[in-house]
Amino acid sequence: MTSEPTETSTSSTGEITGHSGELAVQVARAHGVETMFTLSGAHVFPMYDGAVKTQQDGQGPAMRLLDVRHEQTAAFAAEATGKLTRVPGLAVLTAGPGVTNGISAIAQAQFAGSPMVVVGGRAPQNRWGTGALQELDQPPIIAPIAKSARTLMTAADVAEGMDEAFTLARSSHRGPVFVDIPMDEFFNSASGTVGAGGTTRLEPDPEAVRRVAGLLAEASRPVLILSTDVWADGAEEAALRFVEDLGVPTLTNGMGRGILPGGHRHLVTKARGAALSGADLVVVVGTPLDFRLGYGVFGGPDKNPDGAFAKVVHVADSPGQVSGHADLAASVAGDLTTVLDGIQAAIESGAKPDWSAWSDQLADLVKAATARDAELLTAEADPIHPARIYGELVPRLADDSVVIGDGGDFVSFAGKFVEPKRPGGWLDPGPYGCLGAGLGSAIAARIARPSAQVTLLLGDGAAGFSLMDVDTLVRHDLPVVMVMGNNSAWGLEKGPMQMLYGYDVAADLAQRTPYDQVVTALGGAGETVTDPTQIGPALDRAYASGVPYLVNVITDVEAAYPRNTFGI
């Protein structure tokens, strides 16, 4: 394909003129976007032409076109890019089915607060209502699962509309923004201004900050929870300072994992139950008080010898995120670095609290749990216990590793055993829990962190949603190591159904399928492993291969993840 740079396209900031695709791409570039994830459709061709022109104009980083095999992969790749880079990911989806195929990822971005912009194609306005191909009014479908969803009706609306979309997506509380552009207007030209690409930051109420500091200073057994928005808001350094200087026992989850590197003395994730049951104050930073956190109720008569519930403080990046259902002792909303630094300064201006007895008690429990884990991690059972895979994988993970989980029980085991060394490298399904994000996330990670080790953990069930996009890894030369826990079942559904009914249906998959051969057929490589002692050598071959490589480990379907909640 050839495309001449037009004289009308100008630098990445300032006045620009061009067709809607050029305008939209220039705005995206001004916001720091470097990759467009897409699957071809004529409705969005101008976006491709806009990208090609950036590859020729020498005015800044070119917009890379990354074409995939299913729009869900494009949208999940954009979502993961938002999570990893903290710059909105960009997915470009063709009209109608292209857009509807991206909906799960948009919903996931809304649940996880991931900054992303989705540009949809749209049937031409000059034919609207007469039955053009794929004529679907998309914004009303997407509005409930996005920060904003609207049509940029004319080419003259595109530059400003796109700037608003990116600014909104990347401002607290982050999330997905959808725009579509009618096809006739997509090809039309107009002028517009491209700015430097900004964001907005919210100042917290100083009085609220002081109140939280007061509660923390008075607490005897506090626990801090650091989660996704701490990373998304760029507050990971403030959070680490806060924990180390004050000595507060801390749990991490979501993208917050790694803020305290695995093994850190104040990280008590392995004593989570005891920490949350025994705490007299739980300070939750950067995540909703949802099912993963017992809806914000900690302690109480069945958990705690003195029967007391913990006081709960909710710290959020924006007022709309503060829990409306939990019984809160205090809350504060705003830029999380400012909030954490403010609380710390207020505490340090008084007598320094001493939580060392509580902290030591939890540290002993962490030690005991680590010793218990060691047994599972070295299990020699045949068929292989999924934990053994992590026994082999964890020592091989690099400090800069990006670890992506797409699956059920197999990924829950990862949550238990993998403790990242740095923040921003752990991508799990999060509160939306959508299977199928795997290949899109892996593509995004390989691009966002070109020199990092990238590992995708796949359940055999989850793999079915996106494995064809190994083709994308191969075509774009994106080596990723995929590790599959293949229990020949939808394990996370089989176990609970057995528990509820004493039998299960619709939970078995074909037995011991050699999915590595699928990857090989698509141009990658891989192998099947059935002997626990062979997992390590297979992983070494995978990391050394330099190609998309699937280590397909056949595991024991009976080795279900021990869980006591179904997430409701």
Ligand X SMILES: Cc1ncc(C[n+]2csc(CCOP(=O)(O)OP(=O)(O)O)c2C)c(N)n1
Residues that bind ligand X (CB under 6 A): 407-410, 433-436, 459-462, 485, 487, 489-493
What distance in Å separates the CA atoms of residue 147 and residue 540, rounded to the nearest whole number? 43
CB of 325 to ligand X, least distance (A): 23
Per-residue binding letters, 441-480, with Mg ion (x by CB under 5 A): ------------------xxx-------------------
* CB burial readout 38-53, b (16+ within 10 A) else e: bbebebbbbbbbbbbb
Residue placing its CB nearer to ligand X in the complex, 296 or 459: 459
CB of 434 to ligand X, least distance (A): 5
Which of Mg ion, ligand X, none is residue 462 near (CB under 5 to 8 Å by kind)? Answer: ligand X
| Encoded tokens for 149 | 């969803």
Q: Does 555 bind Mg ion (CB under 5 A)?
A: no
CB of 433 to Mg ion, least distance (A): 15
Which of ligand X, Mg ion, none is residue 115 near (CB under 5 to 8 Å by kind)? Answer: none
Which of Mg ion, ligand X, none is residue 435 near (CB under 5 to 8 Å by kind)? Answer: ligand X
Residue placing its CB nearer to Mg ion in the complex, 431 or 459: 459
Which of Mg ion, ligand X, none is residue 258 near (CB under 5 to 8 Å by kind)? Answer: none
* Contact (CB, 8 A) for 331 and 317: no
CB of 493 to ligand X, least distance (A): 5
CB of 378 to ligand X, least distance (A): 20
CB of 291 to Mg ion, least distance (A): 22
Nearest alpha-carbon partner for 466 in 406, 545, 410:
406
- Cα 394 to Cα 181, 316, 325, 421, 547: the distances in Å are 46, 32, 38, 11, 21
Q: Does 516 bind Mg ion (CB under 5 A)?
A: no
Residue placing its CB nearer to Mg ion in the complex, 491 or 532: 491
What distance in Å separates the CA atoms of residue 150 and residue 153, rounded to the nearest whole number? 9
Nearest alpha-carbon partner for 483 in 408, 410, 547, 425:
410
Q: Does 491 bind Mg ion (CB under 5 A)?
A: yes
Residue placing its CB nearer to ligand X in the complex, 459 or 532: 459
- Cα 332 to Cα 149, 170, 171, 271, 342: the distances in Å are 29, 20, 17, 27, 11
Helix axes 491-501, 409-417, angle to 10 degrees: 110
Helix axes 45-57, 20-30, angle to 10 degrees: 60
Residue placing its CB nearer to ligand X in the complex, 49 or 71: 71
Phi, psi of 324 (to 5 degrees): -95, -15
- Residue holding tokens 């492993």? 529
Residue placing its CB nearer to ligand X in the complex, 70 or 173: 70
* Contact (CB, 8 A) for 166 and 197: yes
Residue placing its CB nearer to ligand X in the complex, 235 or 403: 403
**Which residues lie closer than 8 Å to 126 by C-beta, 6 or more apart?**
182, 184
| Encoded tokens for 550 | 């699937």
Q: Which residue is nearest to ligand X (CB)?
A: 459
Which of Mg ion, ligand X, none is residue 373 near (CB under 5 to 8 Å by kind)? Answer: none
Q: Does 487 bind Mg ion (CB under 5 A)?
A: yes
- Contact stretch for Mg ion (CB under 5 A) within 97-105, 142-150, 159-167, 487-495: 487-495
**Could you tell me which residues are beta bridge partners of residue 551?**
483, 527
Q: Residue 15: which H helix or E strand, with range?
A: strand 14-19
Instruction: Report helix, strand or coil for 333.
Output: strand
CB of 104 to Mg ion, least distance (A): 19
Residue placing its CB nearer to ligand X in the complex, 242 or 390: 390
**Which residues lie closer than 8 Å to 280 by C-beta, 6 or more apart?**
219, 220, 221, 222, 299, 308, 310, 311
CB of 407 to ligand X, least distance (A): 4
Q: Does 513 bind Mg ion (CB under 5 A)?
A: no
Per-residue binding letters, 247-276, with Mg ion (x by CB under 5 A): ------------------------------
CB of 484 to Mg ion, least distance (A): 9
CB of 48 to ligand X, least distance (A): 29
Which of ligand X, Mg ion, none is residue 229 near (CB under 5 to 8 Å by kind)? Answer: none
Q: Residue 100: which H helix or E strand, with range?
A: helix 97-101
Residue placing its CB nearer to Mg ion in the complex, 196 or 506: 506
Interface residue list for Mg ion (CB under 5 A) = 459-461, 487, 489, 491
